[in-house]
Amino acid sequence: MDGGIAVLDYGIGNLGSAHKAFVHLGADARLVTDPDDAAGAAGVVLPGVGAFGRCAQALRSTGLHRAVDDALARGVPFLGICVGLQLLYEGSEESPSVPGLGVLPGTVRSLPAGVKRPQMQWNQLVIRPGADSGLLAGIGPEPWVYFVHSYAPELSDDAVATCDYGGAVVAVAERGPVWGAQFHPEKSGSVGLGILANFVAVCGDPPRRA
């Protein structure tokens, strides 16, 4: 793959919706099912829906975890969406026997007791004091985005934004070129498209903002 954005398709859920959102922005984005096809990509996207364990196992069985490793080794922009973000951590309470990718330290935890699970609603992002988020650049204060999840990463220094759902829940994590959103940008209207446009821009492909 000579440039462009590789959207990893490991056969879990409707991964095409994220791909279509990038195409809508005018980005050179392609669904990739073979790790070799992601070689040379200017950016890599790991979407994910459903159970952590099933997604982690599918990522490894398809060999696409090698595309993740390659992107991280090359230092190209990387974006995890929903369970794709969760997979970047060491593991999850949802599937204790299945390891995550271990890119970010910490464990994915169940949403706080006393709240409805999953969180399936629009909610506001709260940028943490002192955080400088590339993913949320120019989006504005406390934007509304759409969540569908029962688990989220535990709060750590990598978390740059949270939402309030029975307490502070990690919504955006960033470490260098690795970005992750617990919500679904592709389902979050114009705000979500702006967030994806920020990722396209760091990949070196100026987006056409909707």
Answer whether residue 76 is part of any domain. yes
pLDDT tens per residue across span 1-57? 678 999 999 988 667 789 999 999 999 999 999 999 999 999 999 999 999 999 999
Q: Binning pLDDT at 50, 70 and 90, where does residue 209 land?
A: very low
- Distance CA(159)–CA(96), nearest Å, equals 22
Instruction: Identify whether 93 is a catalytic site residue.
Output: no
Answer whether residue 210 is part of any domain. no
Q: Which residue has the tokens 């209207």?
A: 189
Residue of 88, 104, 86, 100 lying closest to 153 (CA atoms): 86
Indicate whether this model's pTM tops 0.85. Answer: yes
Instruction: Please give the helix or strand (H or E) that residue 120 lies within, else none.
Output: strand 119-124
* Domain housing 176: 5-202
Answer whether residue 9 is part of any domain. yes
| CATH (domain of 143) | 3.40.50.880
Model pLDDT, residue 1? 67
pLDDT tens per residue across span 181-191? 999 999 999 99
Answer whether residue 159 is part of any domain. yes
Answer whether residue 207 is part of any domain. no
Q: What share of the chain is helix, strand, coil (3-state, %, to 5)?
A: 25, 25, 45
Number of domains in the chain: 1
Model pLDDT, residue 205? 62
Model pLDDT, residue 207? 55
Catalytic residue of the set 55, 82, 163, 203: 82
Instruction: Identify whether 82 is a catalytic site residue.
Output: yes
Answer whether residue 165 is part of any domain. yes
Instruction: Identify whether 163 is a catalytic site residue.
Output: no
